[in-house]
Amino acid sequence: MGKKTSSTQLAVIGGGPGGYAAAFSAADLGLDVTLIDLEANPGGTCLFRGCIPSKALLHAARILTEAKEAEHWGITFPEPKIDIARLRAATEGVVAKMTGGLGQLCKARKIRLVQGRASFRDSTDVSINHLDGSIETLAFENAIIATGSRPAMLPKLMLESPRVMNSTDALKLDDVPETMLVIGGGYIGLELTTVYAALGTKVTVVELAPNLLPGADADLVKPVAKRMEEMCEAVYLESSVDGLEEVKNGIQATLKGKKIKDSKQTFDKVLMCVGRKPNSSGIRLDCTKVETDEQGFIVVDDQMRTADPGIFAIGDVAGEPMLAHKATHEGHVAAEVIAGHPVAFNAQAIPAVVFTDPEVAWVGLTQTETKAQGLNVNVATFPWGASGRATTLNRNDGLTKIITDAETERILGVGITGTNAGDLIAEAALAIEMGATAQDLHLTIHPHPTLSETIMEAAEMIYGKSTHIYKPKRKKK
């Protein structure tokens, strides 16, 4: 195929939540932008193979769960029938609608969207291998690397078999296996466990750490752990998978752990969820001055600029936390810096959400982190058993926790476990960004009856009082 040469002010490599946000922001600021991605429309891993399809499937799982729980209210349904093909099609429809909309936004902003794979020739040019086989050399004034990440795999468990899946494979929902082993009790593993267990799969979860969701505070994880014990065939903590072997009727796993009685167990499918790796290889960074760390993350400053002045990096490839909303914010920062604005990435709090049932969300410092840093803090927890709205939902299994600086009363961190925790945590993120105190939340009138009131009442608990919880004062001796 032939070669051609073109130029642009800004080349964005990768069309995920960071890449397309950066491209859109830069175009709005008047720059000539070229967005390069393997897909026909923007979206990246999040929209095509991650956040969006998983949340669509989690919604379906929640419908199934609510149908079963409706009996509590005296409402019964016939046994739900699951049409996997229609469920898969509905999920794909959500993805197509959202990515198609992003494609239209590219056209509206006059962004050139190129479908192909880009690699650097030097600090001012990239080579693009188009899907039709043609090759293009694109000269740029600035470039933003937004190539994201991919599922990590454990080398000792690598097995070439369709029965061994990563998160991308699992979201395709080719079938609903009778049994499945999930290796990893982090947020991806537990979200997919929630989906498959609701669809009828007998799931066994193996996690190396002492608790599920390592990194989150234990009290926030407890309600989720209890729910997982109920929905799963087994949950093994402080355990490992030492080997996988394909046998006639599935995958035989060698399990190791104190509570594991049968070390050899066979499953129809195995899902490996042991983290993600940055996509920093394969784009010829060696042709530039861009530097990476030991984990493969691209090193950037607070303006998202790499060691090569004209090249920026954002999102998963630029470091933890690997979250779509963090990538979007970094994309805006990089675009504004390139446009000449004096900005920097200086977020005080980046919220994290696990869309299990119940959901878990936290922002700012965790209680574990405050202990490790030796901070003097006050911690208050409001149990959802005292929430009117949670009671009307028959979901009293949640809690809301607030951590404040003991001297200034400024909010340092908030954690929420319960229905819609992911939506509720945004108020806490704003409070931390604004430097709010527990008194600010306590004095803010929250609508009743809502789950958001639990934030207000947790703030009241910092001062030892709450409308719906009574703690008698200790008598002086």
Residue ranges for the chain with pLDDT beneath 50: 1, 477
φ, ψ dihedrals at 55, nearest 5°: -75, -30
Other CB atoms within a 10 A radius of the CB of residue 84 amount to 12
Torsion of CA 36, 42, 48, 54, to 10 degrees: 130
Residue 457: give its domain's CATH number. Answer: 3.30.390.30
Residue 466 lies in a domain: no
Residue 63 lies in a domain: yes
Residues 80 and 190 in one domain: no
Residue 345 lies in a domain: no
Residues 13 and 118 in one domain: yes
Residue 346 lies in a domain: no
Residues 71 and 143 in one domain: yes
Residue 359 lies in a domain: yes
Residues 387 and 266 in one domain: no
Query: In which residue are the tokens 């003097």 written?
Result: 376
Residues 145 and 283 in one domain: yes
Residue 477 confidence (pLDDT): 47
Task: Give the domain-ending residue among 225, 244, 274.
Answer: 274
For the chain, how many structural domains are there in total? 3
φ, ψ dihedrals at 143, nearest 5°: -135, 145
Is residue 312 within a helix (H) or strand (E), and if so which, with residue range?
strand 311-313
Residue 214 confidence (pLDDT): 92
Residue 121 confidence (pLDDT): 96
Task: Give the domain-ending residue among 247, 274, 301.
Answer: 274
What is the β-pairing status of strands 359-364 and 352-354? antiparallel
Residue 172 lies in a domain: yes
- Give me the count of residues in the chain: 477
* pTM, 2 dp: 0.93
What is the β-pairing status of strands 179-183 and 264-267? unpaired
Catalytic residue among 72, 130, 341, 448: 448
Residues 249 and 300 in one domain: no
Residue 68: give its domain's CATH number. Answer: 3.50.50.60
User: What tokens does 7 get?
Assistant: 């130029």
Domain that holds residue 197: 155-274
Look up 448 and say whether it is catalytic. yes
Residues 235 and 366 in one domain: no
Residue 468 confidence (pLDDT): 87
Residue 413, classed as helix, strand or coil, is: strand
Residues 366 and 297 in one domain: no
Q: Please, what is the angle between helix 51-69 and helix 187-199, to 10°?
A: 50
Residues 209 and 291 in one domain: no
Residues 284 and 144 in one domain: yes
Residue 472 confidence (pLDDT): 66
Residue 2 confidence (pLDDT): 54
Sign of the Cα torsion 158, 164, 166, 172 reads positive
Residues 258 and 122 in one domain: no
Distance CA 236, CA 228 (A): 11
Whether 251 and 163 have beta carbons less than 8 Å apart is answered as yes
Distance CA 68, CA 231 (A): 12
Q: What is the DSSP string of 430-459?
A: HHHHTT-BHHHHHHSPPPSS-TTHHHHHHH
Distance CA 128, CA 136 (A): 5
Q: Residue 395: what residue type?
A: R
Residue 374 lies in a domain: yes
- Burial degree of 327 (CB within 10 A; 0-12, 13-18, 19+): buried
Residue 422, classed as helix, strand or coil, is: helix
Residues 362 and 412 in one domain: yes
180 contact partners, CB below 8 Å, separation of at least 6: 196, 201, 202, 203, 204, 267, 268, 269, 270, 271
Q: Please, what is the angle between helix 84-108 and helix 51-69, to 10°?
A: 140
- Burial degree of 132 (CB within 10 A; 0-12, 13-18, 19+): exposed
Q: Residue 235: what residue type?
A: V
Closest CA to 450 of 377, 398, 412: 398
Please write the tens of the pLDDT for every residue from 286-339.
Answer: 999 999 999 999 999 999 999 999 999 999 999 999 999 999 999 999 999 999
